[in-house]
């Protein structure tokens, strides 16, 4: 069974929590940021943010890098594709 990337992203969108959309939108609009900034910008509680970021990381939509004591989150190329396709649909 073969599906297009757009069809796959529709399935992903249905399965992700609402907070994931806010996290992706915040990263899209404001660029890479640490988890504290991301939590405030996306209006997602920090405990929930950790779970959401790990889901997005597992899907390859978000990259998490360590800079000092901070974990920096940013969109991957696939994450940008996901946003552009979900905004188009």
Which of the listed CATH numbers 3.40.50.300, 2.60.40.150, 1.10.3080.10, 1.10.10.10 matches domain 5-88? Answer: 1.10.10.10
Contact 24, 56 (CB under 8 A): yes
Helix (H, G, I), strand (E, B) or coil at 2: coil
Please give the average pLDDT of every successive group of 10 residues along the chain, which has 89 residues.
Answer: 75 88 96 96 95 95 92 95 81
Distance CA 88, CA 73 (A): 24
Domain residue limits, the chain: 5-88
Contact 34, 72 (CB under 8 A): yes
């Amino acid at each position: 069974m073969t599906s297009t990337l757009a069809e796959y992203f529709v399935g992903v969108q249905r399965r992700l929590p609402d907070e994931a959309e806010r996290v992706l939108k915040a990263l899209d609009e404001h660029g890479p940021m640490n988890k504290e900034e991301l939590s405030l910008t996306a209006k997602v509680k920090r405990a929930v943010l950790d779970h959401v970021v790990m889901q997005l990381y597992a899907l390859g939509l978000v990259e998490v890098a360590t800079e000092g004591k901070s974990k920096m989150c940013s969109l991957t190329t696939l994450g940008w594709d996901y946003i552009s396709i979900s905004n188009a649909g």
